[in-house]
Copies of this chain bind each other. A is one copy, B any other.
């Protein structure tokens, strides 16, 4: 009951997709977690042990989601201040892969524009920390099961991400995704897409994008650890057709998602 993860959201998490017994993009997940621990000054060291635990939980699972939570641990004194003598808490959970419509990867998904705007704080930007009330409230804005996610803008009017996805737009053969220096989570699949695209000669940029850039997008797609790359077929009333760049990126990351031994 003195857990700082509960009292303050003083911690981080990772959602790791496992297919064919293997955790996907595990290095990226562990790197982001380590970066988050460093930024929040959470003394968590046993990354080798965590890696083995994740691999063990993935073993034998055709498909599963793992959630890893690391917090600063139980409070050793009252108040916001950490004393530095806390012992980090680690929680690892395994969930079944959620039911999903197999047509999403081909036909794409519909998204809405969230009314909520994300607060901006560069010290928290990029991290997958446990302060997620904004996402909870944004996800509470709609109940229509046909809407997959909502695109979020920040308090200063910049496009950031979905509630649970990163977003890419395609414009004049360039692949653009919002900078995450003021808010948002720097997703592992976003990183994988940026790497894979750049390596195959696609022009990519992390950019300050507003409503105008979103409206001008020729293609839009979403990424996260679970879905990989899903096209967006509608933003509110506007419809889009999954385009050539989206298909190319989907092919580029296919082996990351399904593994080299896969069809």
Contacts and interface: CB of A to CB of B under 8 A. Distances in A.
A133 B124 contact: yes
A116 B155 CA distance: 17
A21 interface: no
Given A9-B131, A130-B6, A135-B80, A1 B93 contact: yes
Number of copies: 2
A8 to B, nearest CB: 4
A1 B92 CA distance: 9
Nearest to A135: B80
Interface residues of A, number: 50
A139 interface: yes
A241 interface: no
A173 B3 CA distance: 44
B65 A132 contact: no
Nearest to A127: B133
Contact of A6 (B6, B121, B133): B6
B40 A183 contact: no
B69 A95 contact: no
